[in-house]
């Protein structure tokens, strides 16, 4: 077979498949070339990495950032909040108020996407030492009692809970309060199961467990001179 014949054979062998492949390649190139560039804002939570042992973030609200991104419409269209991760590294941080810059270098995002703007450009974070202590559990009992009866005793079990959280916030907690217990109509003794509430979202109970509130009522005396 001559070189010319061999070349023709290579060119025209499976010609149909080659034409289809070429058409697909041109269509893909044309679609990419014509894909418009769009810009959208995405609001997402800031992630804190490498928090030092024994320290906690004492800022009450979870910091968020609005990140304006730009890229091909086909990529932006499928972009989700979970695809963008603004990260602040707390390694080496100490207690106190700390300011961190939020720059494109601290944001993980897919390829073909660029960051146009980050708002805010800085974040101020409160960091405190972790502290743990025990507090009393105070029962909250409500209700209407039978005529001539009153509460003579109220007890809780456990009577104390261990709480933990940022030191300044833990020290401000005086006690844990149970959810309201409705003791309407109790004559004698009754025990209710409820939960304890800590009035600070950043302070938590170390080992949460149901609280047993026991209410004891007694009949009031009706003798003269005795209320």
Q: Which two tokens stand for residue 14?
A: 């499976």
Per-residue confidence (pLDDT) for residue 224, from 0 to 100: 43
Per-residue confidence (pLDDT) for residue 85, from 0 to 100: 85
Q: Which two tokens stand for residue 2?
A: 């001559």
Per-residue model confidence as pLDDT tens digits over 66-100:
999 988 887 887 777 678 889 999 999 999 999 99
Per-residue model confidence as pLDDT tens digits over 97-118:
999 999 999 898 888 888 999 9
Q: Are 158 and 135 in contact (CB under 8 A)?
A: no
Q: State the number of CA atoms in the 13 A half-sphere of 77 facing the CB.
A: 6
- Residue 143, phi-psi category: left (phi > 0), alpha (psi -120 to 50), beta (remainder): left
Write b or e for each residue in 82-108: b if 16 or more Cβ atoms lie within 10 A of its Cβ, otherwise e.
eebbbebebeebebeeeebebeeebbe
Topology annotation, domain 130-219: RNA Polymerase Alpha Subunit; Chain A, domain 2 (2.170.120)
Per-residue model confidence as pLDDT tens digits over 23-41:
565 555 555 555 688 888 8
Q: Are 146 and 215 in contact (CB under 8 A)?
A: no
Listed by start position, the domains of the chain span: 37-120, 130-219
Percent of the chain residues past pLDDT 70, beyond the cut: 81
Per-residue confidence (pLDDT) for residue 34, from 0 to 100: 56
Separation CA 134–CA 227 (nearest Å): 38
- Mean pLDDT (the chain) is 84
Topology annotation, domain 37-120: RNA Polymerase Alpha Subunit; Chain A, domain 2 (2.170.120)
């Amino acid at each position: 077979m001559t070189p010319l014949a061999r070349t023709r054979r290579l060119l025209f062998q499976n010609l149909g498949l080659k034409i289809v492949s070429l058409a697909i390649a041109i269509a893909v190139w044309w679609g990419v070339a014509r894909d418009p560039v769009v810009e959208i804002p995405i609001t997402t939570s800031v992630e804190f990495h490498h928090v030092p042992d024994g320290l906690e973030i004492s800022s009450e609200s979870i910091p968020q950032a609005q990140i304006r991104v730009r890229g091909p419409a086909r990529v932006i269209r499928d972009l989700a909040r979970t695809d963008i991760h603004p990260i602040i590294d707390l390694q080496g941080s100490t207690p106190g108020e700390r300011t961190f810059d939020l720059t494109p270098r601290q944001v993980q995002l897919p390829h073909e996407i660029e960051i146009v703007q980050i708002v805010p450009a800085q974040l101020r974070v409160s960091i405190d030492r972790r502290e743990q202590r025990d507090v009393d559990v105070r029962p909250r009992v409500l209700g209407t009692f039978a005529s001539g009866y009153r509460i003579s005793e109220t007890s809780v079990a456990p009577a104390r809970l261990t709480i933990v959280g940022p030191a300044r916030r833990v020290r401000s907690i005086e006690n844990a309060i149970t959810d309201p217990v409705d003791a309407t109509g109790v004559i004698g003794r009754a025990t209710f199961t409820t939960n304890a509430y800590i009035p600070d979202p950043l302070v938590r109970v170390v080992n949460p467990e149901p609280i047993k509130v026991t209410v004891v009522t007694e009949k009031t005396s009706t003798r003269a001179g005795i209320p």
